[in-house]
Structure formats: C-alpha cells, structure tokens
Amino acid sequence: MAVRVLVVGSINMDLIVRCPRLPGAGETLAGDDFATAPGGKGANQAVACSRLGARTAMIARVGGDEFGQRLRRGLQEEDVDVTHVRVDGEASTGVALILLERTGDNRIVVVLGANARLGDEEVATASQALAESDVLLMPLEVPLPVAKAVAAAARERAVLCVLDAGAATPTAVDIGLPGLVDVLSPNEAEAEILTGIPIKGRDDARRAADRLRDMGAKDVVVKLGRDGAYWSGPQGEAHVPAFRIDPVDTTAAGDAFTSCLAVSLAEGYGMVDAIRRANAAGALACLTLGAQPSMPTAGALEQFLRERI
C-alpha cells in the first residue's frame, strides 16, 4: 500500500529568467530567455511525493487570480489531493523570481502572497488530516505559528514530521520549532541561519547538525549540494556522497531531495539508504529546467540508482 503524505506548504508561480551571470548593482543585463513554471516549495514537494508513488494531499492557499487557477489545476493533474487548497480572493498567488545562471546556479526572490495567510483554518484541517497520514512534510514558506501548530499536532498523533528548512529564519528557533521535528533538513545557507554556524564543509555541517539536535530535532540531514548530505541522529552519523552530474538547473533540487527522503523513510528505508535515494532524486531534478517539471518519477529514480550501483 502506498504511503500517505500530507504536505502543508506554499504554492508559487515561478518566473524564470535565464542569464549569463547575475547583474551588478545598477546594471542592466540582457537575459537569455524567460519562462513560467509551477513552483513553491510545498507544491514542488507534493508533486515529487506523488510522482514517487505516495498518496499525497496538500493544505495551502492560492490567490483568486489566473496563476492560482493554473497552479491548483496542475496539482490535480499530478494526482495531488487539492481538496484543502483554498482559493483566497483577498490575496495574490505567491510568486518566485528566479535568476538562473548558465552554470546552473540560481538566486531566488519569493513574494509569499496567499501563502502568508495560512492560519487557524489550515491548522484545524491539518490536525484532522494527520489521522490518515503516515508522514507530514512541511517547508518554512508558511507562517511560523502555523508550522509550529501543525508540527505539534503531528507529534501528538505520532506522525513522522519532516521539516524542510526552506525560507529559514532565526525565529523558527526562537519559537522552539526544531523540538517538534523528527527530521530537519536544511541546506548550507539555511543551517547557518538557524545556528549561526557558517557551513564551509563537512566539519561545519556536523557542528550545525549537533547544535540543531541540541535544540530538540531528532535527526538532522544537512544538504551540501555537490558534496551530498551529512546526517546526525540518535542512531549515528554519516556523510552520504552526491552523484556526479552536469546540472541544467538546480532549482528545487532540495525539494526533490527532502520529498524522497520523507517518502523513503515512511516506506521503511534506513536513514543512510533514504539519503542515498534522496541524493539521486536531487540529482535527477538538476537535469531538467524548472521546479515541478524536474521532480522525478519512481521509475526514473529506480533506473538512476540501478545504473549507479
């Protein structure tokens, strides 16, 4: 039976500008091309979980605009249950401006829009939905009081809570959110924001993970990009190397990683094996332009892993 994933998170329309490099202050730079693609860390992760074979439901908001209609319809087409994706007529749909360099690296500016208006209604809905969920997957592109309340509900119901630290802020630490999380997965920049430790390599990742565990997180998985991931938890610690690829677009690779990590853990994989699978999902996501379009299927993931045994 497929695992059941509940995603509480953000839905955005990504506005992607491909450019030779980032412009300097006051500089006007000619871009290569422009595209729109469905995104938002929550929606990316919902699509990724669904493509990996999980029964996936999402709790979120979109605005009462064309972007919102397109994004909600797109989630339905990916077999994501959008019953609780609310259309908020008083807000715009979230957008993300993505500057994508030819190297595959990116810089992102997010306007949360309707994502910032999640509140008590979504918390109540999530509390009920968790009764029929195996794992809660949540990024930080939602109001922190909502994230804390939903994580607390998952803890009360003994549902595995996986928190992607995307859009990290020190306030998440101040309100005690790490102490409600089973698996906390920041990238290097997010780990620094949460701990104050600059991440320059594996030793720094270990120190940051230890600090996050001191804050109450059970397992911490620090995403290290080209260097794979570092894990620290009650059962041990490990560095799991990345797969070698030539990236096209690194946007949402972290979403693919955390989604695969959550699904794999819910399916019963041990932490190291789950991280290896997550590294593969992140690598596959780097081979396609765009966020949701790049989320790998279960078949693509298994083929990728077979070819790299």
Nearest-angstrom CA–CA distance, 258 and 247: 18
Candidates 258, 306, 294; CA nearest to 35 is 294
Report helix, strand or coil for 164: strand
Q: Kindly report, residue by residue over 8-66, the tens digit of the pLDDT.
A: 999 999 898 999 988 889 989 899 999 898 989 999 999 999 999 999 999 999 999 99
Strand partners, 87: 62
Q: Give the per-residue pLDDT at 100.
A: 86
Tell me the sheet residues that pair with 88: 63
CB atoms within 10 A of CB 308: 11
- The pTM assigned to this predicted structure is 0.92
Identify the band that residue 167 occupies on the pLDDT scale cut at 50, 70 and 90: confident
For residue 281, give both structure tokens.
């999902």
Pairing mode, strands 106-111 and 94-101: antiparallel
Nearest in space to 258 (alpha carbons), one of 169, 187, 167, 157: 187
Mean pLDDT over all residues of the chain? 95
Q: Per-residue pLDDT for 104 more than 80?
A: no
Per residue in 236-288, pLDDT tens?
999 999 999 999 888 889 999 999 999 999 999 999 999 999 999 999 999 99
Distance separating alpha carbons of residues 139 and 3, to the nearest angstrom:
19
222 pLDDT higher than 90: yes
Residues paired with residue 240 on neighbouring β-strands, in sequence order? 229
Dist CA 276 CA 280 (whole Å) = 6
Cα–Cα distance measured from residue 167 to residue 34, given in angstroms and rounded to the nearest whole number: 24
Pairing mode of beta strands 33-39, 94-101: unpaired
CA distance 84 to 235: 36
CATH of domain 4-11+39-92+116-306: 3.40.1190.20
Structure tokens given for 100: 């994508």
Q: Which residues pair with 81 in a beta bridge?
A: 57
Report d(CA 180, CA 147) in Å as an integer.
10
**Could you read off the pLDDT of 11-20 as tens digits, one per residue?**
999 898 999 9
pLDDT at 5 over 80: yes
Residues 221-228, mean pLDDT to the nearest whole number: 96
What's the distance, CA 294 to chain centroid? 13
User: What are the tokens at 279?
Assistant: 């590294």
Q: Which residues are catalytic?
A: 255
Q: CA 229 to CA 84: how far, in whole Å?
A: 33
Average pLDDT score over residue span 136-140: 96
Q: Are strands 160-164 and 55-63 parallel, antiparallel or unpaired?
A: unpaired
Lowest-confidence region among 77-86, 93-102, 204-213, 294-303: 93-102
C-beta separation of 92 from 63 below 8 A: yes
With 80 as the cut, is the pLDDT of residue 215 above it? yes
Nearby residues of 206 by Cβ (< 8 Å), 6 or more positions away: 230, 232, 237
Domain ranges of the chain: 4-11+39-92+116-306
Q: What are phi and psi of 213, to 5 degrees?
A: -70, -35
The first and second tokens of residue 267, run together, are: 């399916």
Residue whose token pair is 């290569």: 32
